[in-house]
Amino acid sequence: MARLLIISALIVVSAPAVALPGIDAFSVTTNAQGEQTYTVTIQILALMTMLSLLPALLLSMTSFVRIMIVFSLLRQALGTGQAPSNQVLLGLSLFLTIFIMMPVFERVNTEAVQPYLEEKISVTAAIEKASKPFRQFMMRQTRESDLALFLNISGSDELNSAEEVPFSLLLPAYITSELKTAFQIGFLIFLPFLVIDLVVASVLMSMGMMMLSPMIISLPFKIMLFVLADGWSLIMEMLAASFYLA
């Protein structure tokens, strides 16, 4: 987890704020009366602000959004209410995200973090090298239409290559594409469970049992279908393949 924080810090901390060899935590000023004044530097304030944004920024640049939405839609399709709980889905999404993003993290660690810790490259070079694997991953998952949308909104000129796309455009385009993909996968997941609900509702109406909720009767059948089909393995395999085959 410490490596993830170092990687994220290298990406989000701006170059002017860390261009010096080290960041002074505070400065001490002694006046004529011998009193001392402690002043926190602007770099530390900026770094503390960035630390509060790291979780959201890290999750929005990885596969977490798609995975979490698909799991939430799966729970709604099953109709199990709060089972699995939000904590279970969150933990499952986080560890599956780490599994999917591990090749990207390893590249960042090899090309940027380790050379920077060994003082072989500067902070600016480390930030540039660390951003490339994330950029390549995000570009593979981003639709051209979404990228063109934000390019049009920003009023920027047409870009000639993917390397020219700034993070300010790539990040919202990537999140938009992830939302679209997640809801498309959720639609496909809903279909078999919807068929079960329709069949159960039709049977109950034909028997004149209109006061009985079809959800109560269909829930055991949906759970049985999901378990017999090894649904969790299929969902996780599909989610992992949706990133690597994109």
Give pLDDT tens digits for 69-108.
999 888 888 887 777 888 888 888 888 888 888 888 888 8
pLDDT at 10 over 50: no
User: Cα separation of 64 and 239, whole Å?
Assistant: 11
Sequence-distant (≥ 6) Cβ neighbours of residue 125 within 8 angstroms = 116
Is 0.75 surpassed by the pTM of this model? Answer: no
**Mean local confidence (pLDDT), 27-34:** 56
